[in-house]
Structure 1
Amino acid sequence: MTISPKILDRWGRPINRAELRQEVAAPTFGGVRSPISGYPADGLNPLRLASILREADMGDPVRYLELAETIEERDLHYLGVLGTRKRSVSQIEITVKPGGESALDEELATMVRDWLQRDELQDELFNILDAVGKGYSFTEIVWDTSAGQWRPERLEFRDPRWFRFDRVGLSKPMMLDELGQEAPLPAYKFIYNHMGAKSGLPLRSGLARAAAWAWMFKAFTQRDWAIFTQTYGQPLRVGKFGPGSSETDRDTLFRAVANIAGDCAAIIPESMQIDFVETGNLGSSTEHYERRSDWLDKQVSKAVLGQTATTDAETGGLGSGKENREVQEDIERADCKALAAVLNRDLVQPWVILERGPQARYPQIVISRPEAEDLKAFSAAIGGLIDRGLTVRAQEVRDKFGLATPKAGDEILRPTAKSAPQLTLEAGDEGEARPERGVKYPFDTHEPNSGATAHLQTKGPSAARSAPLDPPAEVAARLETEAAPAMAAMLGQVEAMLEAAADLAEFREMVLAGFPEIDNSQLTEVMAQAFAASFAAGRAMVEEEDGG
């Protein structure tokens, strides 16, 4: 009898398909998975915070996780930078690469691509990235088997307070069962995301551990600031009473003064009137509170985003602007790769195995932001390479710039004269000297003393002449263009000798022996045409000067 091998997850646990068809970590009213949370941040002080963190280090993370949740709710700066980091990743377009080149590989990749089009995916990824703050997160996969298939119906975020880590190494995730006992996670049922801000145990790798200290000290500063503002930011009320006032009158006056606002009240004898004394230089007295709060916020920004330039408006100085944005992009790329690896391990591979069985290769989710290409640098590089003989398809260049291929009847932009336009020669006047060997000049000449000027002409239906240009410069530009193929052919023969030679001495002998055989007829032809064109250009300039 043949025994089929069991399918095991990454922790060595076998798959229980019946268990996969039900939710195993849903909240329960009054049970061990209660959604009601405590508030350990109330009255937080250094001793209490240290006690909360020590509990987490020993495997009881409940109060630490509740504190991390409270910090996100009460610290607007931490909420903002943490949300920025998570949303920058959850909104990036996801692509899927087939595991191979077979039809089955492409079919499996298409299956994953279609599922990724769900509208709920962005919120689900945002919840999975809760691990950025707390150090880890758990997401239950709710499988849909209604039609006999296996397909993830939704990804349900589960409160990390309902999970623990094994007592031996504090690294293997466990879940609380209905009796509150620690039990292994069912195979292929959870996406376990560990994205630590530092190396070490998951319980000690969350950003919330570092942010908790900054938040506590900032809370002290804000409390002192509020007390100072309430005490000294309001005017001092002084009640005055006359010498003949009774004790009852004085009590009445004091109650009136005290009930105006706050506790800054006093009474003095003098005709029972109330004066408001304004506090001077209040702004300079409160600056240190603001500076301390801002400094703590900057430390949190550095911890979460790696920099402060994108969250705190500062101008000038080193380490700002583009450099800070590059730091944030480095963190974003790392988060993208980590999230993609988790989804491939805990979602894509289990899904394929449940649906089609184990495979040699599996589709790969890729989360990355397209790199912006420097088209200016590309233009400069490709132009020089083409001038040196590199053949490039025009459509590839158009695709780089997002340009469509021109169609019949489209208006075409032509290069300017300074961009080396295509040149033709108009026939000279009757009786004028003609160039030898059929050379075509890049300009016209006219009768002497007629104000003749060398003109360039671009090819086109209108054959209209452009503005006067410098003939020698145009001849030089034309020579460079025309001589390039001839020079390339000659250099090709020389390069062949260089490749065949064993050393420089042998190469020298090969060049000396083979020089008469190198074909230079094409270059000679081009040079002859250049000399003729130069002669005609010089003649045109002389005639123009004489005519002037």
Structure 2
Amino acid sequence: MRKPTPSRTPTRPLKRAPAALTREIAPPELVGQRTVWHDSYAAGLTPARLARILRSAMQGDTHEYLVLAGEIERLELHYRAQLGTRKLQCKSLQIMVEAASDDAADVALADAVRDLVARPGTRRMIGHLLDGLARGYSVVELVWHETADGPWYPRYEHRDPTFFQLDRVAGQEIRLRDGSPDGAELPPNRFMIHVPDLITGLPVAGGLAMLGVWSFMFKSFSLQDWAAFGEIYGMPIRIGRYDQAHSAEDRAVLKQAVSMIGRQAAAILPRGMDLEFIDAAQGAVGPDVFERLARYWDEQVSKVILGQTMTADDGSSRAQAQVHDQVRLDILEADAADISETLQRDLVNVFVGLNWGVPASGQYPTIKLLVPDMDDLKQWVQMVCDLVDRGAKVGMSTVRDKLGLPDPDADEELLHPPGASQTAPPPPTDRGTARERGPAPLDDVDDLVDQMDAAAAPAIDSMLDRFRDLLATSDDLADVERRLLDLYPELSPDALAEVMGQGLMVAYLGGSADGG
């Protein structure tokens, strides 16, 4: 990797003392404001309790809501699967870094950023940032360390969102929770803060968990009722009948038999007693109503997270799936744009400024998560090829940045078109006298060939005419062979030999003049 040259700007505005860069600012604590151990709010969740938690969150007290949002992601299977799909799609995108210009300094800075994002932990860090999709915001702390070859690189530490709070005035600024009413201001260039652009308003109000908690609660009710229904009506109702002649002891035996047949499927009854089974599940309300309710809430979660249900929950045709996949592509592109903006602002600009100051051009390398669209990419490549064929000048770095290809190393083996020569053409020479410029240029040789071709044409045409007449008047191949043998002594090569001799003489004289 080419090392960036120092900026021509004399100041280094982001430079800090090593102790301030390497010290963690928001580490977890055993007790206090930043503990990772929380009470559970999902167990026994009721509409009244959930309404109170959400009301408190909208008034600035977000602790219980953020804990609950994390709980439902761990406990609710469908919500976790759909949210995980959306995160993994964005997390697995190719990271593209584009230089600000073709200037050597800007290209070197882009190479440095490519080396930064290629280091271990980048994908994991992006996954931490994507946690903001559910809770409204996410925070990753940058703990800097200096390497042996010079640049400062960050270590990424995910911080629980409960470690932070919103400012009490606008509710937009993320502040460190320290026990004070307003919290502590976060120092610049030490935190990556990702707030997905889902809806306008408070960050916590835009998180997908704001809707997911309601689905979790109502689906929990449906599953509890379904389990109770299965426990009660999974076996038919058992009714024992006795008459007035049976004693109290006989009735106790009958009751015990009814209970035992439900648990052990076996019982004994005194003679004269009856046991009847009634299938109560055949009533107007069957067990499928609970399944339909659970499925309904799953479909609503799929719509909120993925924008559709067809590829997530329902079977579909290929054409229908393609339409719904397009909706998912729109969401993926929006997530990628949001993450790219956060990486640009809180990582790339800080990394470059810390190590080399503000670039002389004033423009930083650009980082993007590239959403692949092969059709558009093919069209773009074809357009560039057409422009180059028509004489347009296109920078190689521009093409590589667009395709996400790094610059090849000096000793790296390169790809070539089939049949193309892999050796570089000789450098051009200055035109001067024949003795000064060495062998004759290619255009002189072409002229000589053209002159010889014109001089030899009459002799060659005369011989070809004889052959054409012979072929036209022959009966078969045997006749052609016999007549060629007869014709050969009559053919005179004198005219052609004279031309060839003249050509050889010219070539000899040219070589002698050039010092050959």
Kindly indicate whether the alpha-carbon contact (under 8 Å) linking 2:208 and 2:304 is maintained by their aligned counterparts in 1.
yes
**Structure 2 CA distance for partners of 1:375 and 1:179, relative to 1, 3 Å:** closer
Deviation at 1:45, TM superposition (A): 2.4
CA distance in 1, matches of 2:368, 2:381: 30
Letter of the 2:369 counterpart: I
Cα deviation 1:417-463 (Å, max 9, x = unaligned): xxxxxxxxxx99988899xxxxxxxxxx9999xxxxxxxxxxxxxxx
Deviation at 1:6, TM superposition (A): 9.0
Paired residue for 1:349?
349
Deviation at 1:322, TM superposition (A): 1.1
Q: How does 1:233-312 map to 2 (within 5 A)?
A: 233-239=234-240, 245-258=246-259, 261=262, 271-272=272-273, 274=275, 276-279=277-280, 281=282, 285-312=286-313
Letter of the 2:323 counterpart: E
Paired residue for 1:324?
324
Cα deviation 1:213-249 (Å, max 9, x = unaligned): 2222222222222222222222223345676654234
Deviation at 1:54, TM superposition (A): 1.1
Kindly indicate whether the alpha-carbon contact (under 8 Å) linking 1:21 and 1:145 is maintained by their aligned counterparts in 2.
no
Deviation at 1:150, TM superposition (A): 5.1
Q: How does 1:25-424 map to 2 (within 5 A)?
A: 25-145=26-146, 147=148, 149=150, 151-177=152-178, 182-239=183-240, 245-258=246-259, 261=262, 271-272=272-273, 274=275, 276-279=277-280, 281=282, 285-315=286-316, 320-359=320-359, 360-373=362-375, 404-406=417-419
Paired residue for 1:511?
none
**Structure 2 CA distance for partners of 1:160 and 1:381, relative to 1, 3 Å:** closer
Q: How does 1:449-460 map to 2 (within 5 A)?
A: none
**Structure 2 CA distance for partners of 1:19 and 1:273, relative to 1, 3 Å:** farther
**Structure 2 CA distance for partners of 1:331 and 1:380, relative to 1, 3 Å:** closer
Deviation at 1:374, TM superposition (A): 7.4
Cα deviation 1:135-162 (Å, max 9, x = unaligned): 1001111211365955334211111011
SS at 2:287's partner residue?
Answer: helix
Cα deviation 1:514-547 (Å, max 9, x = unaligned): xxxxxxxxxxxxxxxxxxxxxxxxxxxxxxxxxx
**Structure 2 CA distance for partners of 1:197 and 1:240, relative to 1, 3 Å:** same
Deviation at 1:362, TM superposition (A): 1.5
Kindly indicate whether the alpha-carbon contact (under 8 Å) linking 1:128 and 1:193 is maintained by their aligned counterparts in 2.
yes
| TM-score normalised over the length of structure 1 | 0.63
Letter of the 1:28 counterpart: E
Deviation at 1:285, TM superposition (A): 1.8
SS at 1:373's partner residue?
Answer: helix
Deviation at 1:363, TM superposition (A): 1.7
Paired residue for 1:479?
none
SS at 2:109's partner residue?
Answer: helix
CA distance in 1, matches of 2:177, 2:269: 68
**Structure 2 CA distance for partners of 1:404 and 1:358, relative to 1, 3 Å:** closer
User: Which range moves more in the overlay, 302-311 or 281-290?
Assistant: 281-290
Cα deviation 1:28-62 (Å, max 9, x = unaligned): 11222111122222222222222111101111101
Kindly indicate whether the alpha-carbon contact (under 8 Å) linking 1:239 and 1:272 is maintained by their aligned counterparts in 2.
yes
**Structure 2 CA distance for partners of 1:341 and 1:280, relative to 1, 3 Å:** closer
Deviation at 1:310, TM superposition (A): 1.6
Deviation at 1:124, TM superposition (A): 1.9
Kindly indicate whether the alpha-carbon contact (under 8 Å) linking 2:132 and 2:195 is maintained by their aligned counterparts in 1.
yes
CA distance in 1, matches of 2:82, 2:473: 75
SS at 2:141's partner residue?
Answer: strand
CA distance in 2, matches of 1:428, 1:378: 54
Deviation at 1:253, TM superposition (A): 3.8
Cα deviation 1:266-293 (Å, max 9, x = unaligned): 9999645655544564797233322222
**Structure 2 CA distance for partners of 1:141 and 1:379, relative to 1, 3 Å:** closer
**Structure 2 CA distance for partners of 1:32 and 1:405, relative to 1, 3 Å:** same
CA distance in 2, matches of 1:54, 1:255: 52
CA distance in 1, matches of 2:251, 2:225: 33
CA distance in 1, matches of 2:87, 2:255: 55
Kindly indicate whether the alpha-carbon contact (under 8 Å) linking 1:19 and 1:186 is maintained by their aligned counterparts in 2.
no
Could you list the runs of 5+ residues in structure 2 that have no partner in the other structure? 1-9, 393-402, 404-414, 422-463, 476-516
CA distance in 2, matches of 1:97, 1:364: 5
**Structure 2 CA distance for partners of 1:17 and 1:430, relative to 1, 3 Å:** closer
Deviation at 1:197, TM superposition (A): 2.1
User: Which range moves more in the overlay, 323-332 or 286-295?
Assistant: 286-295
**Structure 2 CA distance for partners of 1:140 and 1:238, relative to 1, 3 Å:** same
Kindly indicate whether the alpha-carbon contact (under 8 Å) linking 1:233 and 1:282 is maintained by their aligned counterparts in 2.
no
Q: Which has the higher contact order (CA 8 A, sep 6+)?
A: 2
**Structure 2 CA distance for partners of 1:336 and 1:250, relative to 1, 3 Å:** same
User: Which range moves more in the overlay, 193-202 or 158-167?
Assistant: 193-202
Letter of the 1:251 counterpart: A
CA distance in 1, matches of 2:256, 2:78: 41
CA distance in 2, matches of 1:373, 1:221: 45
CA distance in 2, matches of 1:113, 1:178: 40
SS at 1:141's partner residue?
Answer: strand
**Structure 2 CA distance for partners of 1:113 and 1:146, relative to 1, 3 Å:** closer
CA distance in 2, matches of 1:447, 1:237: 112
Could you list the runs of 5+ residues in structure 1 that have no partner in the other structure? 9-13, 393-399, 409-426, 435-444, 449-548
Deviation at 1:332, TM superposition (A): 0.5
| Count of residues in correspondence between the two structures | 403
Kindly indicate whether the alpha-carbon contact (under 8 Å) linking 1:235 and 1:277 is maintained by their aligned counterparts in 2.
yes
Deviation at 1:90, TM superposition (A): 0.6
CA distance in 1, matches of 2:318, 2:284: 27
**Structure 2 CA distance for partners of 1:286 and 1:339, relative to 1, 3 Å:** same
| TM-score normalised over the length of structure 2 | 0.67
CA distance in 1, matches of 2:87, 2:382: 38
SS at 1:182's partner residue?
Answer: coil
